[in-house]
């Protein structure tokens, strides 16, 4: 008697309630005259607004006669459907040997189909990518454009998970694609056209490994620029702001720009440094971002072209692990217009990222850098994941992905962390 293995996809849909999965797999564990031994290969379940979608891939060892439905034998598809429908019509009590429930499975639909077992198996890691789509609102039109773009690039969406509905809407798509370079390019162009944010990252175990995240300070972790705040107290706000804007846009090298701006601050009372430190305002979502990442075991760092005396107290208060920033020179209680020690400029930021990664024992591939200005470009390019946060076009082009929403904790969605998980962790901490 010839026996063959047939791969079946089992789908159960309907109103969710406790015990459905238990009854499904209890039934699948019992050899049936029509199915023989069953092996479970893969399982996935989703519950949305009380409705269940449970799928399982199983292999059935059947005889050629059963497979062909000869001599009155039920085909494996019919046999599996029958045993599942019978199991779902019984209540929990029946499964445990008690009386049958009078409530049937009228609202549960069982579907069984033969599938090609090798079609989706062993997808190379190089083809598996995660696409995060994020915007204040994502309507059907935008989603249609995104899915069409993925399909046009030769990609197929295997799974969709909603990560958040506020303060922004975001979805994570698991995509299989032969050409990730084209996928990233095409989605980037589509995102610009639709005014949304899209990130494409490779999937894999690296997402669960130890990570280092490095944040720029001015206009990233903080709202505004520290040196501009000092300039207001020195009475040269307009002059300094003009140079700051040129430096951030990349029209002026950071080193010369910093020297010129510090020159305007020469003679400023050092007490102004403390006043500015007390007046710092965090970007929306900054506390949530840092708090959540630290709970997940991330090493956190700030690398800034600003001044350690101003931002160090805030960085310490947030519990951030590492800091690299410039140090102001003070003589007789007044700023000299110079810095002392190593200059943290564009190259200095990238060097600090590498140094922090070595100290933390984290490979560069598992580092994340976030910044908004031209002096962040080297750091963004060097990191495993470079995120341009409300940045100029030239900085966005240099980064792996960009965020245009004002919420710093939206970075968590790019890392696959849902709003529900964030809030659950906060509740656990409070408890």
Phi-psi region of 412 (alpha: psi -120 to 50; beta: other; left: phi over 0): alpha
Q: Are 94 and 103 in contact (CB under 8 A)?
A: no
d(CA 61, CA 70): 16
216 catalytically annotated: yes
- Neighbouring residues of 26: CB distance < 8 A, sequence distance ≥ 6: 87, 95
Task: Report the C-alpha gap between 74 and 159 in whole angstroms.
Answer: 33
**Closest listed residue to residue 69, CA positions, set 37, 114, 101:** 114
Task: Using alpha carbons, select from 65, 99, 90 the residue that is nearest to residue 79.
Answer: 65
Q: Is 201 helix (H, G, I), strand (E, B) or coil?
A: strand
Q: Active-site residue among 197, 216, 372, 376? A: 216
- Bridge-based pairing state of the strands 128-135 and 197-202: antiparallel
Give the CA distances from residue 10 to residues 41, 58, 197, in Å, rounded to whole numbers and listed in that order: 11, 8, 36
Report in angstroms the alpha-carbon separations of 7 from 39, 83, 85, 120, 266. Answer: 9, 17, 19, 12, 77
Which of helix, strand or coil describes residue 387?
strand
CB 157 within 8 A of CB 143: no
Given the residues 218, 321, 376, 409, select the one marked as catalytic.
218
| 262 backbone dihedrals φ, ψ, rounded to 5° | -65, -30
Q: What distance lies between CA 271 and its chain's CA centroid?
A: 41
Active site residues: 216, 218
């Amino acid at each position: 008697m010839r026996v063959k293995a047939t791969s079946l996809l089992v789908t159960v849909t309907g109103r969710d309630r406790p015990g459905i999965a238990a009854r499904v797999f209890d039934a699948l564990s019992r050899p049936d005259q029509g199915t023989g031994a069953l092996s479970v290969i893969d399982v996935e379940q989703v519950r949305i607004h009380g409705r269940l979608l449970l799928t399982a891939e199983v292999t059935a060892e059947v005889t050629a006669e059963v497979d062909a439905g000869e001599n009155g034998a039920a085909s494996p598809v019919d046999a599996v459907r029958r045993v599942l429908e019978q199991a779902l019509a019984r209540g929990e009590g029946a499964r445990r040997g008690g009386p049958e429930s009078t409530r049937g499975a009228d609202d549960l639909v069982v579907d069984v189909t033969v599938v090609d077992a090798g079609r989706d198996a062993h997808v190379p890691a190089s083809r598996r990518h995660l696409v995060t789509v994020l915007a204040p609102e994502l309507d059907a039109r935008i989603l249609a454009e995104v899915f069409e773009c993925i399909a046009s690039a030769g990609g197929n969406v295997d799974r969709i998970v909603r990560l958040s509905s506020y303060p922004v809407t975001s979805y994570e798509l698991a995509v299989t694609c032969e050409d990730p370079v084209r996928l990233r390019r095409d989605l980037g162009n589509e995102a610009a056209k639709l005014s949304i944010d899209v990130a494409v990252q490779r999937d894999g175990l690296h997402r669960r490994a130890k990570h280092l995240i490095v944040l720029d300070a001015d206009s990233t972790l903080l709202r505004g620029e520290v040196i501009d705040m000092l300039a207001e107290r020195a009475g040269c706000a307009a002059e300094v702001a003009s140079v700051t804007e040129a430096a951030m846009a990349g029209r002026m090298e950071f080193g010369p720009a910093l020297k010129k701006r510090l020159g305007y601050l020469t003679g400023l009372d050092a007490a102004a440094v403390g006043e500015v430190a007390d007046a710092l305002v965090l970007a929306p979502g900054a506390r949530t971002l840092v708090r959540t990442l630290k709970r997940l075991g991330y090493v956190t760092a700030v690398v800034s072209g600003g001044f350690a005396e101003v931002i160090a107290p805030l960085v310490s208060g947030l519990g951030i692990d590492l800091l690299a920033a410039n140090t102001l020179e003070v003589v007789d209680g007044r700023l000299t217009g110079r810095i002392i020690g190593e200059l943290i400029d564009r190259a200095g930021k990238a060097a600090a990222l590498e140094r922090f990664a070595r100290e933390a024992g984290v490979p560069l591939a598992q580092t994340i850098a976030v910044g908004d200005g031209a002096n962040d470009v080297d750091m963004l390019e060097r990191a495993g994941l470079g995120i341009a946060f409300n940045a100029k076009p030239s900085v966005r082009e240099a980064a792996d992905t960009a965020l245009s929403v004002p919420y710093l904790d939206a970075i968590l969605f790019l890392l696959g962390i849902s709003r529900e998980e964030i809030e659950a962790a906060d509740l656990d901490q409070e408890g």
